[in-house]
Structure formats: C-alpha cells, structure tokens
Chain A
Amino acid sequence: EIVLTQSPPTLSLSPGERATLSCRASQSVSNYLAWFQQKPGQAPRLLIYDASNRATGIPARFSGSGSGTDFTLTISSLEPEDFAVYYCQHRSNWPRTFGQGTRVEI
C-alpha cells in the first residue's frame, strides 16, 4: 500500500498570502495524484487531478505540480473561503489511498 504523507499538518496564514502544501508518496505514483478540499460538514471537492489538471470550475489560484513521489498544491493568494482541510490521493495502484490532510487556518 502506498503511503501519502502530507506536510505540514497545519498551515496558519492570512487572506492574500500564498499557501504551499506538500504530499510525498512512499513510492512513485507517476502523475496519478489528486488534491481535494474539504470544509466542515461537506464532502471533499476535487481541485486537481493527475498532478496538475484543474477540475471543472476550480479557480486559477489553485495549481498543482510534481511527479513520481513529490507533489505540491499551491494556492497563490488565499481567499477567505479557502480555509479548509486539503487531502492528496493517488490512483496509481490498488488500494487507492489518501494523505492524512493539511489544515489551512487563519
């Protein structure tokens, strides 16, 4: 099973600042890595798939990069609605797994 390790666990930032979230895989997942945002009481929302492709309707301030074992989600300028928990997830093999999450807080 591929283990995804996200860092940092918590990111304390202010609106307008840049957020950089990391996801490291225990073995290569090629580019089969997605990022999700989850707010309290809501289902996760797909932000990025296959490492760098924004999902439909996702603002351009969200971008993803990386391949192999190291991936980054960048939020270029935080909006108030971006404060949430972010998860990475791979689909390289089975079982699909998720990272433990990074909380972006004010």
Chain B
Amino acid sequence: QVQLQESGPGLVKPSETLSLTCTISGGSISPYYWSWIRQPPGKGLEWIGYISYDGITNYNPSLKSRVTISLDTSEKQFSLKLDSVTAADTALYYCARAPHLDYWGQGTLVTVSS
C-alpha cells in the first residue's frame, strides 16, 4: 500500500522560505508525477506543481516565480520550497501521487506569521 507523509516546519516567518518534504513508501516512484497541493483553512484546493519520476517539473503560473520542487529518488522523497511567503500562503499542504491523485498524505498545516 502506497503511503505519503509530509514533514517540515509548521510555522514560517513572512518573507522566509517554506520547505516541506514528502516521503514515499510502499510503492515505486515511476511512472508517476509527484505533486504538491494546498488548501487554505476553510477554502478550496490549489495545485502548486509537480515533478515527474524523471525530473520534469511543472508549476502553477500563479506561484511559478517562488516555487521549486525537487526529487530524491534514492531516499524516495520529494520536496517543496516556496520563497518569500506571506500570510496568504498559510494553508494545509498535501503531497499526492499524480496523474490521478489516488494517494495523498494526511496534510501538514503551515502558518505564516511573525
């Protein structure tokens, strides 16, 4: 059974960089697209971006200038970095397996506050 687990700081200061890692267990990295999706409290879902099993990335244009997603195949982890965060980046951050988003992590709440 595939399992995904997010990890990282739950509190980030404004203007700093949000960094999260997702650890994949119970399944193969290929041929999937490993994705980050976020959900502000009480609101809907926004796809941040993905990295493919062979390292191709695609980012939401609304966040593209601030986002980097990377993949470590040896550790079976992929990571999200979001630069210059503001309060608007406060959200529950999920990692998930694409293309069908059939497996999700449980989510990690990141609050942007000084």
Query: A-side interface residues toward B, CB under 8 Å?
Result: 1, 34, 36, 42-46, 49-50, 55-56, 87, 89, 91, 94-101
- One digit per residue, 1 when the CB lies within 8 angstroms of any chain A CB and 0 when it does not, for chain B 40-62 equals 00001111000000000010111
Known A-B contacts A98-B44, A101-B44; A46 and B102 likewise in contact (beta carbons under 8 Å): yes
Contact of B100 among A49, A95, A97 (CB under 8 A): A49
For residue A100, which residue of chain B has the nearest CB?
A: B44
- In the A-B complex, the 7 residue pairs with the closest CB atoms: A43-B104, A98-B45, A49-B100, A96-B47, A95-B60, A46-B102, A100-B44
CA distance A43 to B60 in the complex (A): 20
Q: A43 contacts B46, CB within 8 Å?
A: no
For residue B92, which residue of chain A has the nearest CB?
A: A43
